[in-house]
Amino acid sequence: MVEIFIFIFGLFFGSFANVVIRRLPYGNSIVKPASHCPKCLLPIKWKDNLPVVSFLILGGRCRNCKTKISIEYPTVELLTALIFLVGYFNFGISVNLLIFLILSIFLIIISFIDLHLRIIPDMLAISLLIFGLASSFFNPLISFSFLNSLKGSLFGGVFLYSVAFLGAKIYKKEVMGGGDVKLLAAGGTFLGLKNIFLALLIACFIGGITGLFLILIGNKKKSDFIPFGPFIAISILIVFFLRPQNPFLITFQP
């Protein structure tokens, strides 16, 4: 029963994430106006605004103008619900779960905005960093240490900034955005000094494999830019979820 509640809870937070993804980067309010079709601009009734369910009932189209609804909407909703459910199975009802859920929402929103616009809004990255520092007193992964949280943030930010600076000098172009630097710094507040380095290694590995695959299937060229933010987000969630005891060995803790 609790699992069902957590899943539904995640679906509605996924719906909220969609609103933020579509509005915040453009400076629009996430509260007003109410949900509406971007084509005909007519308000969406509550029965047509149920996460995933309404998309399926309507056949993926607006009830009024029949404009096709992006598959991204139910994708974000389902992704959020699944992450919430997996988090519950791993952490149970605990402060750890609350931290994980809030972290997940931020990272989902950041990832999709970065995929759309190749930017990571400062408002999101800095808010996440502040929350990470504030929650450090309740975070066992960093031994409930604010200092460890701060060290992780500083290391993540400074290290990635150094990589970006050297890359720009070597390749004569921007190889990594400032948003990525701030995101890794924010991740460091949750993971601490050692684990944020592990997260960066995982992000580079996943990003490299993904980039190679996209090039091989002809979807991207070697010169094309691939947003790095989503890979950082995935790696932060993986490391926080698995709670490694050292920077090179991932082990589950009972």
- Work out the pLDDT band at 223, boundaries 50, 70, 90: low
Angle in degrees, 0-180, between the axes of helices 95-117 and 2-23, rounded to the nearest 10:
30
Give the alpha-carbon dihedral of 212, 213, 218, 219, to 10 degrees: -100
pLDDT at 225 over 60: yes
Q: 37-41, 57-61, 209-213: which range is least confident on average? A: 37-41
d(Cα 235, Cα 64) in Å, to the nearest integer?
41
Instruction: Determine phi and psi for 3, rounding to 5 degrees.
Output: -60, -40
pLDDT at residue 253, as a whole number = 40
pLDDT at residue 254, as a whole number = 36
192 contacts: CB under 8 Å, gap ≥ 6: 141, 142, 143, 145, 148, 149, 151, 152
- Work out the pLDDT band at 34, boundaries 50, 70, 90: confident
pLDDT at 200 over 60: yes
pLDDT at 248 over 60: no
107 contacts: CB under 8 Å, gap ≥ 6: 128, 233, 234, 236, 237
246 has which bridge partners? 249
